[in-house]
Chain A
Amino acid sequence: MRNRRKKWLSAMMLVLAFALVLAGCGGGGGNAGSGGSPASGSGGGSSNESAGGAETSGDSGDAGEGEIKVGILHSLSGTMAISEVSVKDAELLAIEEINAQGGVLGKKIVPIIEDGASDWPTFAEKARKLISEDKVATVFGGWTSASRKAMLPVFEELNGLLWYPVQYEGLEASPNIFYTGATTNQQIVPSVTWLLKNRGKKFFLLGSDYVFPRTANKIIKAQLQAEGGEVVGEEYTPLGHTDYSTIISKIKQANPDVVYNTLNGDSNVAFFKQLKDAGITAQDLTTLSVSIAEEEIRGIGADVLEGHLAAWNYYQTTDTPENKAFVEAYKAKYGEDRVTADPIEAGYIAVYLWAAAVEKAGTTDVDAVREAAKGIEWNAPEGKVTVDGDNQHIYKTVRIGEVQADGMFKELWATDGPVKPDPYLAGYEWAAGLAEE
């Protein structure tokens, strides 16, 4: 009897453990600047310490006659495919457009597409393969911070070049990476200032429980303290959390002016649906999200999100002639029902900036391209962007938008011009000490 009981118990435990693993696999779904699981960080990069060699840089990419090979490395399967497939599409669109205009240095760009499979060590392995075996001139890829951190040591070791297209938590500047998404001072910091000025002082911070929201909220708290705001609540929910009734009770109790939302992926759907059911609308409570763009709105339903705010650098409705052409080309290629969004546009920018740098350098050599990229300007769909020579981020305009009934954003506010990237927040007194931790 005892024995049987034990067997039964261990079978139950096995089921529970298995289910947990499964939940862990599934939970990463989502979005912008995601840190992903803590275990994935740097360990992934070093798993594959084989030959490879650093001498690949030289004439890399010039393999075929009249062709330049570039790598595209996004998750095309797994939970992150939700977001990354569209970025890949935008990058392919840019390559196609450049090729139609005669390519770079008179050569055609040939994309080599690899699948990172939402798995951070896979990103590192595929990056190594693209640089060492395919000898690509550069790689466009990544989404989660965890995937970037996994790839970083590979690119530094082999002296490759990575263009990373997503807003992220800052505090990084690798010489082998160009960051075309926003860093914190181009999204979070200005949006907090705007909210303090226009919506109120009492903030409730709500985020998914992992690196990006926790880092972002640390910055927000320091900023609120310096600029006269007040944190009335701070809550984190596990990735994939689906019941927000208790959190909503806590929000009601704390009675904030603003909910600053760094939730990730599917949790956003549950949160906003249940917020609406609880009878709280955008008129009663301001929420500002940093990972809800046009694509996510389609999956949540515009009726649920109408009136809520987001902070980005680009919206499909951004009014520039370049954007008109971009949206038209994107829809023509991938279908009328597709939408463009901030990370999609950042991927598109990355290809054009690289091409411009190669033209200027006259070669695809990594060191020469990096040197040439400094100060390059381009009229992107979001407006003029400039590569910052020091930290290899780009100057971007910050925009706060309000969700409309049709699922598009209406711009409420924008900075006067592109904001200089400052990944370590060196220009902010209150941020001293944040970078060291």
Chain B
Amino acid sequence: MEVMLLQLFNGISVSSILLLIALGLAVTFGLMNVINMAHGEMIMIGAYAAFVTQNIFRAALPGEMFDWYFALAVPVSFLVCFLFGLLLESSLIRFLYGRPLDSLLATWGVGLALQQAARSIFGAPNVAVTSPGWLNGGWTVMEGVVLPYKRLFIIALVAVVLLLMYVYIYRTAEGRRMRAVMQNRDMAACLGISTRRVDALTFAVGSGIAGIAGCALTLIGPIGPSIGTYYIVDAFMVVVLGGVGKLIGTVLGALGIGMANTLFEFWTTASLGKVLVFLAVVLFLQWKPRGIIAVRTRSLDS
């Protein structure tokens, strides 16, 4: 009984982590159709931004303030990756719209360059981020069922990010322009929307969200130059399964993969579980090539 409860929670937790790493990609890949292989490296940059914030707090501020560095690290990671995304878009991505294969190769190259840059700046070994004291420990629901605060925090963080994204995309003028450009670029341009500006902003927002993911992942995973490669496969799988172009699809995709992964892993082994999940996703895409939620737009058809 306890184990089933715990596994249910683990499933939700894994789903939330998957959703967090996939949300940024849902924007850059899902909305903009840029096959962004450097997404994992954006996560890495976010993680290192958290690491640097921690070090600044440790060096410059009194000890009792240290626990609050993480509250600042989240926006800092977002901002750093946002600016990085802006730079990447204006210097490279904008020349590659509508050329998926080229953008795939180019962003992969960017990813490799970023990995090596991180290696040169921070050194090849992993770095340690000390998690703040208030996130240590867990909530004991009953004997044998402990829900770690860090995982609860990540679930909450995902909910907040999702809400903000929803408001941004569906309730603001900026978001309306973004959707307009995505659905029909030419028409949007005719109506006086600066598609260049919208593209740049959208890509930067997607990158920024990847930064938040990187920051959150420092709580539970390794922080090193190659962490992006561990998450990129899952991120793409979630977006592709969920269906390109709709946030709710990404949410469902993450839940489906997260739950299936936890269950399969529990019933079989970690390696076989992963294989089964992949198989299930491939079969599902045979049946519904556009994923769980299919959007029909002209930009996707062309």
Q: Are A266 and B128 in contact (CB under 8 A)?
A: no
Which residue of chain B has the shortest Cβ distance to A1 in the bound complex? Answer: B301
Give every chain B residue within 8 A of A295 (Cβ-Cβ): 125
Give every chain B residue within 8 A of A330 (Cβ-Cβ): none
Which residue of chain B has the shortest Cβ distance to A8 in the bound complex? Answer: B289
Give every chain A residue within 8 A of B271 (Cβ-Cβ): 209, 236-238
A18 to chain B, nearest CB (A): 7
Q: Are B104 and A242 in contact (CB under 8 A)?
A: no
A23 proximal to B (CB < 8 A): yes
B102 to chain A, nearest CB (A): 13
B94 proximal to A (CB < 8 A): no
Give every chain B residue within 8 A of A274 (Cβ-Cβ): 148, 220
Interface members, chain A 1-57 (any B CB < 8 Å): 4-5, 8-9, 11-16, 18-20, 22-23, 25-27, 29
Which residue of chain B has the shortest Cβ distance to A305 in the bound complex? Answer: B128
- In the complex, what distance in Å separates the CA atom of A250 from the CA atom of B224? 28
- In the complex, what distance in Å separates the CA atom of A4 from the CA atom of B289? 11
- In the complex, what distance in Å separates the CA atom of A237 from the CA atom of B230? 13
A253 proximal to B (CB < 8 A): yes
Q: Are B148 and A238 in contact (CB under 8 A)?
A: no
Q: Are A27 and B138 in contact (CB under 8 A)?
A: no
Binds A, one of B83-91, B166-174, B231-239: B231-239
Q: Which of B119, B151, B233, B300 contacts A81 (CB 8 A)?
A: B119
Q: Are A12 and B230 in contact (CB under 8 A)?
A: no
B74 proximal to A (CB < 8 A): no
| Given A19-B236, A252-B3; A277-B148 close (CB under 8 Å) | yes
A247 proximal to B (CB < 8 A): yes
Binds B, one of A296-304, A312-320, A377-385: A296-304
- In the complex, what distance in Å separates the CA atom of A11 from the CA atom of B101? 9
Q: Which of B127, B226, B300, B301 contacts A79 (CB 8 A)?
A: B226
Which residue of chain A has the shortest Cβ distance to B13 in the bound complex? Answer: A245
Q: Are B146 and A249 in contact (CB under 8 A)?
A: no
Give every chain B residue within 8 A of A268 (Cβ-Cβ): 222
Total contacts A-B at CB 8 Å: 169
- In the complex, what distance in Å separates the CA atom of A276 from the CA atom of B270? 20
Interface members, chain A 237-278 (any B CB < 8 Å): 237-238, 240-243, 245-247, 249-250, 252-253, 266, 268-270, 273-274, 276-278
- In the complex, what distance in Å separates the CA atom of A305 from the CA atom of B286? 45
A228 proximal to B (CB < 8 A): no
- In the complex, what distance in Å separates the CA atom of A296 from the CA atom of B128? 10
A279 proximal to B (CB < 8 A): yes
B57 proximal to A (CB < 8 A): no
B126 proximal to A (CB < 8 A): yes
Give every chain A residue within 8 A of B240 (Cβ-Cβ): 12, 15-16
Q: Are B144 and A242 in contact (CB under 8 A)?
A: no
Give every chain B residue within 8 A of A252 (Cβ-Cβ): 3, 6, 144
Q: Which of A18, A82, A240 contacts B104 (CB 8 A)?
A: A18
Q: Which of B14, B127, B146 contacts A279 (CB 8 A)?
A: B146
A157 proximal to B (CB < 8 A): no
Q: Are B270 and A266 in contact (CB under 8 A)?
A: no
Give every chain B residue within 8 A of A243 (Cβ-Cβ): 14, 17, 220, 261
Give every chain B residue within 8 A of A85 (Cβ-Cβ): 124
Q: Are B14 and A245 in contact (CB under 8 A)?
A: yes
A133 proximal to B (CB < 8 A): no
Q: Are B3 and A253 in contact (CB under 8 A)?
A: yes
Q: Are B150 and A238 in contact (CB under 8 A)?
A: no
Q: Are B3 and A299 in contact (CB under 8 A)?
A: no
- In the complex, what distance in Å separates the CA atom of A22 from the CA atom of B40? 11
Give every chain A residue within 8 A of B261 (Cβ-Cβ): 243
Q: Are A298 and B138 in contact (CB under 8 A)?
A: no
Q: Are B138 and A4 in contact (CB under 8 A)?
A: no
- 6 sampled A-B residue pairs with Cβ under 8 A: A16-B240, A26-B229, A209-B271, A278-B138, A299-B127, A300-B126
Instruction: Please give the residue numbers on chain B whose beta carbons come within 8 Å of chain A beta carbons, in ascending order.
Output: 3, 6-7, 10, 13-14, 17, 35, 37, 100, 104, 108, 116, 119, 124-131, 136-138, 140, 144, 146, 148-151, 219-224, 226-233, 236-237, 240, 261-262, 265-266, 269-271, 273-274, 285-286, 289-290, 300-301
Report the 3 A-B pairs with minimum CB-CB distance, sorted nearest first. Answer: A26-B229, A299-B126, A269-B222
